[in-house]
Copies of this chain bind each other. A is one copy, B any other.
């Protein structure tokens, strides 16, 4: 038998810019980006905007138009596609179709850009469309939430939901650039704002003890949405995520998912709540559970475990939410664990903690210990309950 072997490498690179008021006429970040990436082709840019952001910032489109009419080395498509934010846009095929149709109608080709302004869900949807239209058009992201600025919006994944499953369809496809504009956060509700902090706690716990201590020390400032503290939180969290993604397995060919610390249960909690619990909130619940498990499994010092649970509670995360608790082997989260294992191809790979800042992968999980871990979270959170319902 004859065999021909094909082998090649593809290089991916992109920048994440940290800025404020990106469409202010004095902000050159975007115009510099287009000038530096000029290839001599006629280029167009079309925007997809999260409805919530557009409503909160009524001048947004006007500002974009003014910006591009001043900096005209790329042609702005006057047709803006507005899509609902949150999981709704990833569930509804009409949103996908609307963007695709606008790409066709406006002649957006492989040298042109689809730019997305919004929370993680809108970025996931627009990123997916960018990845598949014409086998890939250029893509810019303008994340507008803490979560998307420090985690999902700066990474390489996109996706939509199908068959009732989150991200059933999607690709790994890096953006051409990400612009993290701190001012987009101002109009967020406190609930959405805070939900983004859990991913920073997560990445600190598995990668960077110093960062965890910084979050502890700055908990009050962060809860008050202090701009400087927020800027640092997002930047360091984004940096840790980027370092990890750029490491061994950017497109997740293997099964190891250290960044998914706390996520195996989080995905199920979100789904059980019919997405009424936000992703970041569910991650906080998942972190609490897996922290307790790390303690009871004698891998993590108990006092350190308590510091972690206490920090989550100080940010008002409802870590003993009824949907996050495991009372028996029949609990829905145990079913979620089985689904997670199946998703990984039969071999479990779950990250727990051996120290603050040190994640370690386990390939087995003791279900009785998991029930006890849930009980531990529940007991620990009890004294905080009155605070939560003040």
- Residue interface bits A166-180, CB-to-B below 8 A is 1, else 0: 011111101000000
B18 pairs with A1, CB closer than 8 A:
yes
A41 pairs with B7, CB closer than 8 A:
no
A135 pairs with B167, CB closer than 8 A:
yes
A100 pairs with B159, CB closer than 8 A:
no
Given the interface pairs A8-B12, A9-B10, A9-B11, the reply to whether A132 lies near B170 with Cβ below 8 Å is: yes
Count chain B CB atoms within 10 A of each CB in A2, A6, A136 and give the residue with the most.
A6
CB-nearest residue of chain B relative to A107?
B342
A68 CB to nearest chain B CB (Å): 18
Given the interface pairs A1-B18, A7-B246, the reply to whether A171 lies near B135 with Cβ below 8 Å is: yes
Bound state CA distance, A102 and B101, in angstroms?
A: 27
- Indicate if A343 sits at the interface (CB-CB under 8 A): yes
Interface of chain A, helix or strand or loop or mixed?
A: mixed
Bound state CA distance, A165 and B255, in angstroms?
A: 37
CB-nearest residue of chain B relative to A16?
B4
Given the interface pairs A1-B17, A29-B1, A135-B159, the reply to whether A246 lies near B109 with Cβ below 8 Å is: no
Given the interface pairs A18-B2, A345-B42, A347-B41, the reply to whether A250 lies near B10 with Cβ below 8 Å is: yes
- Residue interface bits A335-347, CB-to-B below 8 A is 1, else 0: 0000000111111
List A305-322 residues whose CB lies under 8 Å from chain B.
Answer: none
- Indicate if A334 sits at the interface (CB-CB under 8 A): no
CB-nearest residue of chain B relative to A163?
B104
Q: Which of A51-59, A235-243, A382-390 contacts B (4 or more CB under 8 A)?
A: A235-243
Bound state CA distance, A16 and B1, in angstroms?
A: 10
- Indicate if A192 sits at the interface (CB-CB under 8 A): no
CB-nearest residue of chain B relative to A13?
B7
Bound state CA distance, A55 and B1, in angstroms?
A: 28
Given the interface pairs A5-B15, A18-B3, the reply to whether A168 lies near B133 with Cβ below 8 Å is: yes
B174 pairs with A136, CB closer than 8 A:
no
Instruction: Give the chain B neighbours of A252 by CB distance below 8 A.
Output: 110, 135
- Residue interface bits A18-37, CB-to-B below 8 A is 1, else 0: 11000000000100000000
- Indicate if A14 sits at the interface (CB-CB under 8 A): yes
Q: Quick one: copies of this chain in the complex?
A: 2
B132 pairs with A4, CB closer than 8 A:
no
A7 pairs with B3, CB closer than 8 A:
no
A55 CB to nearest chain B CB (Å): 28
A103 CB to nearest chain B CB (Å): 9
Which residue of B6, B170, B242 is within 8 Å of A13 (Cβ)? Answer: B6
B18 pairs with A245, CB closer than 8 A:
no
B6 pairs with A245, CB closer than 8 A:
yes
A271 CB to nearest chain B CB (Å): 15
Bound state CA distance, A255 and B174, in angstroms?
A: 20
B41 pairs with A345, CB closer than 8 A:
yes
CB-nearest residue of chain B relative to A138?
B253
Bound state CA distance, A217 and B242, in angstroms?
A: 56
CB-nearest residue of chain B relative to A5?
B15
- Indicate if A327 sits at the interface (CB-CB under 8 A): no
Which residue of B132, B157, B165 is within 8 Å of A135 (Cβ)? Answer: B157
Instruction: Give the chain B neighbours of A18 by CB distance below 8 A.
Output: 1-4
Instruction: Give the chain B neighbours of A133 by CB distance below 8 A.
Output: 168-169
Beyond the given pairs A10-B250, A110-B345, 5 more chain A to chain B contacts, judged by CB atoms under 8 angstroms and listed by A's residue number, are A5-B14, A7-B246, A109-B344, A132-B169, A135-B157
- A–B complex contacts, Cβ < 8 Å, 20 sampled: A1-B19, A3-B17, A4-B235, A4-B239, A5-B15, A7-B11, A8-B250, A9-B10, A9-B11, A9-B12, A10-B251, A43-B345, A100-B163, A104-B162, A104-B163, A110-B345, A132-B170, A134-B168, A135-B157, A136-B251
Which 8 A-B pairs rank lowest in CB-CB distance, beginning with the nearest? Answer: A111-B345, A42-B346, A41-B345, A7-B13, A2-B18, A4-B16, A8-B246, A104-B163
